[in-house]
């Protein structure tokens, strides 16, 4: 099918990688169903898509609430009759060193990055099972490929998703499953960091060599646009200058 005409749900779609992915896919003919916590920002993305001649629906969701992911998939079915791709993109990164004991931040990353992705998978699988087709795209991180200080819990949540993604791929013979691992991307990732020193370090590195979110959107589009019998299992995309 390529991309044209596919119904694609995207979490974390109000900004960053999610927004860039929504705009790119809609521009290539996809019907996008957008979810995020910031309803006003979602509406702006949907309006931009509509102004360019595309089709979009949106719903304010919190990925830590399973019912919200079910509602996002239900919106796709109610408005467009099917769901072809689930892009689990929502994530946060309030990173810090272990000794800082920012346990509330650890809990938040587990809830959003891991549980939120699993809830997205759980919402989409019954639909994909009835259709005997579908595609799950999980946005993980290069932080799980090269472990560094301050990234421990964040990388752990992303690697948990990486493991679940591979198991899901092996379990299904009709479902395409893709993990996309971005490196430093010019998003508001640092906005969730509660440690001021770590936040300053991340902002400095971002300013030095981060790639635009559109680069990651193109990688996601590449995986989606393949023929139905071709699965792109893993894509790593990062700045050339990144260690």
154 annotated active-site: yes
Catalytic residue among 119, 154, 174, 222: 154
Q: Is residue 136 part of a domain?
A: yes
Q: How many domains does the chain have?
A: 1
pLDDT value at residue 190: 83
Q: Is residue 242 part of a domain?
A: no
Beta-carbon-side half-sphere exposure of residue 68 (alpha carbons within 13 Å): 21
Over residues 183-237, the pLDDT tens digits come to: 999 998 888 888 898 989 889 888 899 999 999 999 999 999 999 999 999 999 9
Distances (CA, A) of 102 to 97, 157, 202: 8, 15, 17
Whichever domain contains 76, its CATH number is: 3.40.50.720
Q: Are 63 and 87 in contact (CB under 8 A)?
A: no
Q: What residues have CB less than 8 Å from 37, skipping those under 6 apart? A: 14, 60, 61, 62
Name which of 54-58, 92-96, 185-189, 212-216 the model is least confident about.
185-189
- DSSP readout, 42-97? HHHHHHHHHHTT-EEEEEE--TTSHHHHHHHHHHHHHHHS---EEEE---------
Q: Is residue 68 part of a domain?
A: yes
The model's confidence at residue 1, banded by pLDDT at 50, 70 and 90, is: low
* pLDDT mean across residues, the chain: 96
Q: Is residue 243 part of a domain?
A: no
Q: Which domain holds residue 226?
A: 7-237
Over residues 100-119, the pLDDT tens digits come to: 999 999 999 999 999 999 99
Over residues 129-171, the pLDDT tens digits come to: 999 999 999 999 999 999 999 999 999 999 999 999 999 999 9
Q: Is residue 208 part of a domain?
A: yes
For residues 32-53, give the mean pLDDT.
97
What is the model's pTM?
0.95
Q: Is residue 27 part of a domain?
A: yes
- DSSP readout, 129-189? HHHT-EEEEEE--GGGTS--TT-HHHHHHHHHHHHHHHHHHHH-SSEEEEEEEE-SBSSSG
**Angstrom distance (rounded) from CA 52 to CA 7:** 17
């Amino acid at each position: 099918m390529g991309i044209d005409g596919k119904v694609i749900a995207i979490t974390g779609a109000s900004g960053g990688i999610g927004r860039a992915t929504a705009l790119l896919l809609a521009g290539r003919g996809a019907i996008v169903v957008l979810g995020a916590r910031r309803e006003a920002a979602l509406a702006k993305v949907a309006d931009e898509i509509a102004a360019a001649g595309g089709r979009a629906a949106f719903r304010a969701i919190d990925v830590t609430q399973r019912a919200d992911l079910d509602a996002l998939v239900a919106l796709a079915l109610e408005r467009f009759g099917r769901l072809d791709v689930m892009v689990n993109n929502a994530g946060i990164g309030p990173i810090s060193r272990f000794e800082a004991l920012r346990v509330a931040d650890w809990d938040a990353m587990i809830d959003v990055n891991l549980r939120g992705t699993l809830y997205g998978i759980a919402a989409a699988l019954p639909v994909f099972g009835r259709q005997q087709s579908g595609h799950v795209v999980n946005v993980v991180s290069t932080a799980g490929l090269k472990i560094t200080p301050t990234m421990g819990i964040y990388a752990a949540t992303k690697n948990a998703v990486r493991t679940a993604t591979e198991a899901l791929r092996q379990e299904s013979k009709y479902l395409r499953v893709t993990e996309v691992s971005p490196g430093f991307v010019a998003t508001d990732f640092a906005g969730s960091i509660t440690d001021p020193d770590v936040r300053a370090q991340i902002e400095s590195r971002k300013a030095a060599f981060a790639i635009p979110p559109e680069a990651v959107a193109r990688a996601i589009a590449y995986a989606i646009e393949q023929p139905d019998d071709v699965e792109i299992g893993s894509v790593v995309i990062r700045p050339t200058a990144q260690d």
